[in-house]
Structure 1
Amino acid sequence: MTDPSSPASMQSVRAIERAIDVLQCFSLEHPAMTVAELGRKLGLSRPTLYRLLHTLERKGLVRSSGEPARFELGHGVAGIAHVWLARLDPARLAAPVLARLWHDTNETVALCLPQGKMRVCVLEHPGRQPLSYARGVGDVDSMAATASGRAMLAFLPPAEQEPALEDAGPERPALLRELEEVRRAGLAVSGGAIAGIRGVAAPVFDRTGRVVASVAITGPEVRLSGERLEALSAAARQAAAEVSAALGHAGGLPAEDAAP
């Protein structure tokens, strides 16, 4: 067995690290780069870069074209990405994030998914305090009726919003104004639907920027108010951002001009 601390093994590890560095140089802003541009970015010599690029090209991870040659990511990257993307499941990826959120807040935390004009709870940790409230996994409610639903509803395309808006009846104008505020704040807050209970929820986005879930914190109004409400709101946003990142989302809320 090869000693991992031997010079040969260390050299192989450095070569792998450099190859990964090359692949990570490419971005939406810089989809294609010359050897000279890569060299300036990575601080590597031309001979080293050419060896790395030719190896990556043989494996289909980069391709070159033009004169001077410009390199870009190849079809092999798509194959690797497909395997990763196929395994992206919001509930599975959110589980450790929600467990930590529950531990840090001591309140009921949940992950909800959109289902037509309804929202369904797929993951929940009930609060550990004597006075708490939990709906339970599998609970289904109107998108417009809960913070967890409105956090998603605000970012859905207009056509997908419409069924929930129709159910709002005369409350539709007020609901539309609230959804605008949710888009600006990146957070929905509810209170009053169930006497004495308040919830805060933040949207979760996938790699395409589509809203696919929400992270919610629920508890009695006597605890979810003032500075504690602000702290829990920040915690919900942070947890939702972590789940979004795990799903491949680049970060941030959709642009205001792209919102419905």
Structure 2
Amino acid sequence: MSKPNEDYLLSSVKNALRILRSFSLEEPEKKVTELASSLGLSKSTVSRLLQTLASEGFVTKDPTTQKYRLGLTILHLNTIVTSHLEINREAQPILQQLVRDIQETAHIAVLDGMDVVYINRVECQRPVQALSHIGRRNPLHCTSSGKVLLSYQEYAKTESYIEQGLARFTPNTITDPDAFRNALKTIRQQGYAISIEELREGVASIAAPIRDYTGKVVYALSVIGPVHRMNPYNPSIIAKVKRAANEISEKLGYWKT
């Protein structure tokens, strides 16, 4: 059974979400009393929740009217969602063609905190049962997508990740900090990353960076397959993955000068 304080926290989260959802195009601003009346909550509860939401930028208060409206954090989250929708829309036909060409499963991944998260997946006819479904979080240092994304980050973020420790998942996982730094340098130079049985035995992958219109690496395109079927060192596979990543980058507005 849930503890009383756990039930209270869950109730508070639900009520905070109800407050956020109560704003609309017709009613973009509301006072505490209006929210309390419409949601059936006490004014003290609504006021406390609004203060918490305001501290995180989810709502903002007009000092003159004393009304609340949605804050810029909502806009930031919306930008992330719409960006992912754009990348999936633009990348889908390119991923499908890549899967037809290589006959292995392809993904689009993004960096989220200290993890790589898969936001799109196009399966081949015989997909490997790997830990790469949409929404899945994997470590950065032992996946090709993760290594690509980390290799283009600022020095401080890269070092922060390395300093927290490079956990070993298989005998092939790179756990030595200097060896990993050298690997990231090589990835930046060659424009792609390879992972062979670093996260899971029997699985290989190759990834290349996807850039936005500013030239910043924001996503990674990867192809994954069983080691007995796919050789990520094959020059043809490398060329196809890099070309597909470049095509998606161009769809996002990137133009290499």
Shorter chain as denominator, the TM-score bin is 0.5 to 0.7
1:183-240 Cα distance to aligned partner (Å, 9 max, x none): 111010001221111100000111111110000000111222287x322111110110
Q: Assess if the C-alpha contact under 8 Å between 2:105 and 2:127 holds in 1.
A: no
Per the normalisation by structure 2, the TM-score is 0.59
Instruction: Name the CA distance, whole Å, in 1 between partners of 2:119 and 2:207.
Output: 15
Q: Assess if the C-alpha contact under 8 Å between 2:205 and 2:232 holds in 1.
A: no
Instruction: Name the CA distance, whole Å, in 2 between partners of 1:219 and 1:175.
Output: 23
Map 1:54-93 onto structure 2 (within 5 A).
89-93=86-90
- After TM superposition, the runs of 4+ consecutive aligned structure 1 residues lying more than 4 A away are 85-88, 130-134
* Residue from 163, 175, 181 that aligns with 1:176: 181
Report the residue type matching 2:252 in the other structure. L
Map 1:81-230 onto structure 2 (within 5 A).
89-129=86-126, 133=130, 135-169=132-166, 171-193=176-198, 194-225=200-231, 229-230=234-235
Instruction: Name the CA distance, whole Å, in 1 between partners of 2:203 and 2:102.
Output: 16
Unpaired runs of at least 5, structure 2:
1-81, 167-174
Report the residue type matching 2:224 in the other structure. T
| Aligned twin of 1:81 | none
Q: 1:153 to 1:129 in 2, by over 3 A?
A: same
Per the normalisation by structure 1, the TM-score is 0.59
Shift of residue 133 of structure 1? 4.3
Aligned pair count?
167
Q: Assess if the C-alpha contact under 8 Å between 1:107 and 1:132 holds in 2.
A: no
Q: Assess if the C-alpha contact under 8 Å between 2:107 and 2:223 holds in 1.
A: yes
Q: Assess if the C-alpha contact under 8 Å between 1:114 and 1:120 holds in 2.
A: yes
- When Rg is computed on C-alpha atoms for both structures, the one with the higher figure is 1
Q: 1:251 to 1:89 in 2, by over 3 A?
A: same
Report the residue type matching 1:247 in the other structure. L
Shift of residue 89 of structure 1? 2.5
Instruction: Name the CA distance, whole Å, in 2 between partners of 1:86 and 1:165.
Output: 28
| Aligned twin of 1:72 | none
Aligned to 1:97, the other structure's residue is in SS state helix
Unpaired runs of at least 5, structure 1:
1-84, 253-260
Report the RMSD for the aligned CA atoms in angstroms.
2.4
Instruction: Name the CA distance, whole Å, in 1 between partners of 2:84 and 2:136.
Output: 25
* Residue from 239, 245, 251 that aligns with 2:250: 245
Q: Assess if the C-alpha contact under 8 Å between 2:212 and 2:254 holds in 1.
A: yes
Shift of residue 251 of structure 1? 2.3
Q: 1:241 to 1:196 in 2, by over 3 A?
A: same
Percent identity between the two aligned chains: 27
Shift of residue 105 of structure 1? 1.5
